[in-house]
Chain A
Amino acid sequence: MIQSAGEDELLRIVNTYSRMLLHIASSRLRNASDAEDAVQDVFLTLVRKSTVFGSAEHEKAWLIRCVINRANDMRRKSEAKNVPLDEAFLPQEDHESSLLEEVRSLPDKYACVIHLYYYEGYSIAEIAKILHLPSATVGTRLARARKLLK
């Protein structure tokens, strides 16, 4: 059993999962720095909560769920605020026909399924396990998301 994170464990967890979690966060958040904040928040939660995982698989699934929730929360909060001028003039990604931008504009529950399926390469069954959803629900969400992206 993987116990709460000690120094070596933190090193392993941060080095193993950072990039994957940053990519997941970026499927919801426009700025790379926001994605970095979301991932650091999740790691801080891990340290504060002393979460115990039954296996590496559970550990990974927990981190993925947490970063999806954190990124969605941040997105909802930022949508409720006005964009400050200095942020408005920051260089943005090329939005012309940006598929990433279309995925970001999907409802929360569809975007994460799309990212896990198309970028991380998880199967429907694996996504169902990670998100604790029935496989049929994941399949439905994937189909609806694809339809919305057309």
Chain B
Amino acid sequence: MTEYSEDRNYSEDRRSDGEGQIIMPFYLLCDVSGSMTGDMGELNKALGELHQQLLGEPIINDLVMMSVITFNHDARTVVPLAAPEEMTLPALSAGGGTDYSPPLREFHTRFTADRARLKGEGKRVYRPCIYFLTDGEPNNAGYQATMASLIAKEKNPAYPYICAFGFRDATAASLQTLAYPNFGEDNKRGRYFIAKDGASITDVLRAMVGVLARSILQSASSASAGTPLVAMPEPDAVPGMGGSFV
């Protein structure tokens, strides 16, 4: 192996190594409200499997960073934005109510800081993508004002792609207000997924793992093809869930 290197201190090496690196940022916003209590074992297992699938793809490790934000009536970042090989997943626990505003605000705050940090390191940061997972309706409609003021294209040049997944008490009416944006072309329309009647939460979470991993891999694969695009799952991609365009 021919390597180019010079004597530098560690922090200088880290910055030099990262200069020009392409980053595709993904944020997984996970509902851990009280109604998820019985599902936390399956949710933790699903996140662990997703992490393992991401680790198994060298292309993802070279191009993708992921963060996990949990929410109930509040929100917090439990996994800061990092490459899969640098991520440590904590065991999540459930409790509290359901509000969509806090995770959207947390995403906005975190992505703004993450982007500034990565750009400061000389990296190229592409448009972020949110996967939003919830089992319930929000206890207020305040999130729509948060969407309009902090997330949407009109107020935010770095607006994210959002793909929403809902089960149990989540409704299509709420999910479609999150699925964003709609660029008007079939392959670029916002979309959301909702569990079909009778589908078990275990099966839905298991199916989602494979779909998210494929979506992330396809997105990463487009990054060096000239026009990087987040590859949203096809509407029929998740067994046990029905997908719809906005």
**Are A and B physically bound partners?**
no
* B interface with A by C-beta (< 8 Å): none
